[in-house]
Amino acid sequence: MKMKLRIPNKISRVWNIDKDNILESRTKGGVGEIFKFCYYVASGEFLCETAPMHHNIMILAFGSYKFGEYVRGIYFKEKKIVYLRGHEKEDWLEATAKMLRQYGVPKKVRIIWGEKAAKILAKDLEGL
């Protein structure tokens, strides 16, 4: 059974969500791509935004839950890496990775998290 995926109206008004590959969703104008996203495992709420939006601002503007309740992700498209950050609950990270795969993120895109991943992406993560 597929993981829950719930797109808030505030997001779906400005984004064309591609459920065949969630990270290839684009803004309705067609120019914006997903750079950052948030996922609330229990409800399936998915938030997304283009650069340079910060996760906390995205959650305040579009989310239904508190900052610490979301798994936050950054999609480095050119590197084919999704970096999940900001959560100590390993099962939430695993559930988010599972959702991304179920909604079309191909295996060639690595989904990583943790201290080792943060070190690998240290330069890319500066200021994010």
| CATH (residue range 9-125) | 3.40.20
Between the alpha carbon of residue 120 and those of residues 40, 71, 79, 114, the distances in Å are: 25, 19, 12, 10
Banded pLDDT at 124 (limits 50, 70, 90): confident
Each residue's pLDDT tens digit, 63-115: 999 999 999 999 999 999 999 986 789 999 999 999 999 999 999 999 999 98
pLDDT more than 70, % of the chain: 98
In sequence order, which residues have a C-beta less than 8 Å from that of residue 45 and are 6 or more positions away?
A: 6, 7, 8, 38, 39, 63, 64, 65
Q: How many residues can be counted in the chain?
A: 128
- Record the pTM: 0.94
- Nearest CA among 128, 24, 23, 33 for reference residue 85: 128
